Structures are given as structure tokens and as C-alpha cells.
């Protein structure tokens, strides 16, 4: 089962690399956040894949089974998923405010507005 | 979307079952997959579904803003309160063994209240974030 | 058979990510991200992580899609055409990928019962759970009882995120429509 197992690791690395590429190569802020989410899910795979035991079952104790998959990565990843969505929510709120302040969510357009002398003030009063 | 008959009927049929499923996942988390986080998210999803079909004003009448804001904080307070209860009854912080004369039943009690606290906070936060996003766009027009 | 299902689903996830990277229509990208989350949840079920699969399906595919669509509604844009070909990020990502692949070659074999993660503290959780806690779902027991402090921290993080969003997106009374 060597080839099978390591295929899972290779796909995990591919997803990680793709997420990293989306974060650093794409300029749209919402797409960057989605790329970050893809990176996070690849890390979940990286934790859970080694915990699986072929022939085992989900870690819910019952008299019919003796081999259980490892429950410890499940606990850590459960926390990580919820923290990931909390980060996404805050990031999206920031993107909404950036859109209101600069009128665009493209990274290069925002940087050019920042670099231009006498940039427009915020539309709304500072909160 | 409230004028669309099919959507309205489907929503009225499905929302009670979604709420029931959220309660099932919450309380059955000890015996099968589930627990506080999943139940809180499913509960928030039911109210968001109602808000999408029947309008945000109706959703706000059903689950008013002060209730959601207090839910956000009440869950964390409940979790911390279980820990303090452990302190008051003679054990360490978040010690469940002392919550009941029988230590195993004490563990059950502790896990139950802790999961309730988690579900309340998670559903409150998800719903509040949805309300904030929907609110911001409206006033901009 | 199980391995075949897992590998096919992983390949589908890789295809979905490539399409996400190349597509410029943000609405399509968000729907594809929801699809990716559902595929991830299925892979997790195939890997016996049922609690994690339920959380990923509800949180990743449910709430994340709702939040992304809400943000897209506020931002109303489509991704602009990239100005230049992204050669430097591509080579950088591939270099990082090569290093990571070299690292994964040192990981233990798939489904090796003597791997380090199976022999330290997990046998204690699985064996002594019955007399200490007596809750059949080991993940809930570990999450709420053995590692209760971590869950307290996580709940506080969720609360802080909610408070942060409220602070960022709140409107003062004088801005509201009467």
C-alpha cells in the first residue's frame, strides 16, 4: 500500500502549493482569502491521513470493533477548522471596508491609489 | 423571494427539520459524530435560510439582535462558569470529577454543559456575522 | 477499494483547485470552493474522520460559502486580468513543493500501526476512557474533557472573531436611514 499512501501525501503537497500560488500570485483580495482556505484544508489532510488505519473504523467505541483510527488528529483539526472560518470572517470584513475606502479590491490598484499623492479621504466618518 | 410559492412552501417544510437535526446533533454528540460546533452552525444555517427566503426584517423579528449579541457572550460565560463551578466544589479549574458524587456522572454533566456553551456561542457568532454583512450592503444604497 | 475511492476524490479536488486558480469570475470561484469543501468532507469520511467531516461540511461548505457570497455582494467585482505572467510565484511555489515532497518521503507508511502517533498517549485515551468518562464518541470526550482548555480557547477565538466583525462593520446611529 506504499504507492497509495504516498499518493495522498503528494496530493496534499499539490494542494498546499496551489493554495500558496493563489495567495502570492493573484491580486484579488477575495481570491487570496480563498487560496488561504485551500492551504488550510491541505494541512487538515496532512494531519488526518497518517491517522487512518486500514481495517479500522471511526473512533466511536463499540463492542463490535477493536481497531480504531487515531482520534487525536481529529480533535486538533476540528479546532483548526473553526478557527479557520473565524479568520475568514474577519478577513472578509476587512475586505469589505477596504472596498469602501479605496473603491477596489485589486491589490495593484490599491497600491497605486496609496502611492499617488493626495489620496482621497475615507467616504465615511472614521468609526 | 417570499413571493415564490415553491420556495416558501419548501422553506416552511424544511426549517423545522433542520432545527430538529441541529438539536439531534448537539445531544447525540456523545454517541455518534456531532457535538457543539456542528450543532451551532446548523442552527445558524436554519435561521439564515429563513432570512434568505422571507426577508431580513422577518428574520430579525424572529431572532432579534440583542438576543444574538447576548448569545455570543453567554456561551463563553457558560463554558467559563463550568470551570469556576469545578473550582467552587473543591477541584481544579475545569475539573469535571467533582461536579457529582459519582465521578463518571460528573464527567457527563461537565461535557453536556460545555457543549451547550460551545453551540450557543458558535450559532450566535455565525448569525451575527451574517446580519452584519447583510446590513452593510443595504444602507450603502 | 477504499484506497481507490480516496485517490479518485483527491484527484477531483486537485482539478477543482486548478480551475479555481485559473478562473476569473468570482462567483464561479466561490461555488467551486464550496464544491471543493464537499469533496474534502467525503475524503474525510473515507478516512474514518466522521466528526471532522461533519464540521468541514457544515462550516467549510456551508458557512464559508455564505460569508464569501455576502462579501462578494458588498464588493461587487470580478477579478482583473493579471498584468504579467506569474513566473516568479510559480517557480517559488514549485520549489516549496519540491522541498515538501522530499519531506513527505520520510513520513511513516500509510496505515502503519507502529507509527509514533499511535503509541504514545492515544492508547490511554482509547483504553481508559470507559472507566474515566464513559462517552462512546472518543473525539467528543477528548475535545470536551481531556483537552477542555483548548476548546475553551477555541470558543474564545470564535467570540473574538464575532466581536471583531461587529467592530469593523458596525454603523453609527447618524449614518442609519431614519
Q: Which of A24, A101, A39 shows the shortest CA–CA distance to C17?
A: A39
Chain B residues close to C44, C-beta within 8 Å: none
Minimal Cβ distance to B32: which of A60, A78, A93: A60
Residue-number span of the structural domain to which A20 is assigned: 2-85
The whole model's pTM is what? Answer: 0.89
How confident is the model at residue B59, as a pLDDT? 92
- Rounded CA separation A29/A8 (Å): 30
Minimal Cβ distance to A62: which of C18, C63, C136: C136
| Angle subtended at Cα B26 by Cα B23 and Cα B32, rounded to the nearest 5 degrees | 120
Q: How many domains does chain B have?
A: 1
Domain annotation covers residue C8: yes
- Most C CBs within 10 A among B18, B22, B29, hence the mutation to make, goes to B29
- Residues C1 and C69 occupy one common structural domain: yes
Residue-number span of the structural domain to which B78 is assigned: 5-140
- Residues C74 and C139 occupy one common structural domain: no
Domain annotation covers residue C108: no
Q: Which of C175, B135, C163, B129 shows the shortest CA–CA distance to A123?
A: C175
- Rounded CA separation C177/A29 (Å): 30
Q: Chain C: nearest CA to B62, how far in angstroms?
A: 20
- Rounded CA separation C168/C148 (Å): 30
Domain annotation covers residue A122: no
Confirm if A29 and C71 have CB atoms less than 8 A apart.
Answer: no
In tens, the pLDDT along C99-150 reads: 988 888 877 777 676 777 777 888 888 888 888 888 888 899 888 888 889 9
Domain annotation covers residue C162: yes
The CATH code of the domain that includes A73 is 1.10.287
Chain B residues close to C63, C-beta within 8 Å: 41, 44-45, 126
In tens, the pLDDT along B27-86 reads: 998 888 888 999 999 999 999 999 989 988 999 999 999 999 999 999 999 999 999 998
Residue-number span of the structural domain to which C131 is assigned: 113-178
In tens, the pLDDT along A85-121 reads: 999 999 999 999 998 888 888 888 888 888 887 655 5
Is C144 within 8 Å of chain A by CB? Answer: no
Q: Which ipTM value was assigned to this complex?
A: 0.90
Q: How many domains does chain A have?
A: 1
Out of C37, C62, C80, a domain closes at C80
Domain annotation covers residue C98: no
Please give the share of chain A, as a percent, with pLDDT higher than 90: 39
Q: How many domains does chain C have?
A: 2
Q: What residue of B is the nearest CA neighbor of A85?
A: B126
Domain annotation covers residue C92: no
Domain annotation covers residue A114: no
Domain annotation covers residue C87: no
Amino acid at each position: 500500500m506504499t504507492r497509495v499512501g504516498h499518493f495522498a501525501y503528494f496530493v496534499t503537497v499539490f494542494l498546499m502549493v496551489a493554495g500558496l500560488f493563489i495567495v502570492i500570485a493573484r491580486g484579488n483580495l477575495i481570491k487570496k482569502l480563498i487560496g488561504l482556505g485551500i492551504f488550510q484544508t491541505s494541512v487538515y489532510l496532512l494531519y488526518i491521513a497518517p491517522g487512518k488505519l486500514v481495517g479500522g473504523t471511526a473512533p466511536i467505541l463499540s463492542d463490535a470493533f477493536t481497531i480504531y483510527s487515531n482520534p487525536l488528529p481529529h480533535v486538533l483539526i476540528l479546532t483548526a477548522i473553526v478557527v479557520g472560518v473565524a479568520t475568514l470572517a474577519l478577513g472578509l470584513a476587512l475586505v469589505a471596508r477596504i472596498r469602501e475606502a479605496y473603491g477596489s479590491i485589486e491589490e495593484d490598484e490599491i497600491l497605486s491609489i496609496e502611492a499617488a499623492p493626495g489620496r482621497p479621504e475615507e467616504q465615511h466618518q472614521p468609526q | 423571494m417570499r413571493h415564490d410559492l415553491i420556495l416558501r412552501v419548501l422553506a416552511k417544510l424544511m426549517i423545522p427539520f433542520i432545527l430538529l437535526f441541529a438539536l439531534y446533533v448537539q445531544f447525540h454528540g456523545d454517541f455518534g459524530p456531532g457535538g457543539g460546533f456542528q450543532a451551532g452552525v446548523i442552527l445558524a444555517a436554519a435561521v439564515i435560510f429563513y432570512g434568505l427566503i422571507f426577508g431580513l426584517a422577518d428574520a430579525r423579528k424572529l431572532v432579534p439582535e440583542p438576543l444574538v449579541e447576548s448569545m455570543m457572550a453567554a456561551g463563553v460565560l457558560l463554558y467559563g462558569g463550568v470551570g469556576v463551578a469545578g473550582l467552587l466544589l473543591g477541584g481544579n479549574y475545569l475539573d469535571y470529577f467533582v461536579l457529582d458524587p459519582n465521578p463518571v456522572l460528573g464527567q457527563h454533566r461537565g461535557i453536556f454543559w460545555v457543549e451547550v456553551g460551545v453551540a450557543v456561542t458558535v450559532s450566535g457568532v455565525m448569525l451575527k456575522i451574517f446580519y452584519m454583512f447583510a446590513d452593510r450592503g443595504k444602507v450603502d444604497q | 477499494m477504499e484506497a481507490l475511492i480516496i485517490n479518485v476524490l483527491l484527484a477531483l479536488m486537485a482539478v477543482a483547485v486548478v480551475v479555481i486558480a485559473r478562473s476569473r469570475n468570482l462567483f464561479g470561484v466561490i461555488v467551486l470552493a464550496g464544491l471543493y469543501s464537499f469533496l474534502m468532507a467525503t475524503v474525510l469520511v473515507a478516512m474514518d474522520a466522521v466528526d471532522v467531516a461533519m464540521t468541514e461540511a457544515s462550516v467549510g461548505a456551508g458557512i464559508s460559502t455564505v460569508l464569501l457570497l455576502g462579501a462578494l455582494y458588498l464588493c461587487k467585482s470580478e477579478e482583473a486580468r493579471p498584468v504579467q505572467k506569474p513566473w516568479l510565484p510559480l517557480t517559488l511555489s514549485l520549489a516549496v513543493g519540491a522541498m515538501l515532497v522530499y519531506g513527505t518521503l520520510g513520513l511513516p507508511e500509510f496505515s502503519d500501526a507502529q507509527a509514533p502517533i499511535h503509541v504514545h498517549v492515544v492508547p490511554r485515551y482509547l483504553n481508559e476512557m470507559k472507566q474515566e468518562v464513559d462517552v462512546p464518541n472518543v473525539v467528543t470526550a477528548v475535545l470536551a474533557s481531556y483537552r477542555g482548555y483548548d476548546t475553551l480557547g477555541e470558543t474564545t477565538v470564535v467570540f473574538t472573531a464575532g466581536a471583531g466583525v461587529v467592530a469593523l462593520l458596525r454603523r453609527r446611529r447618524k449614518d442609519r436611514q431614519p
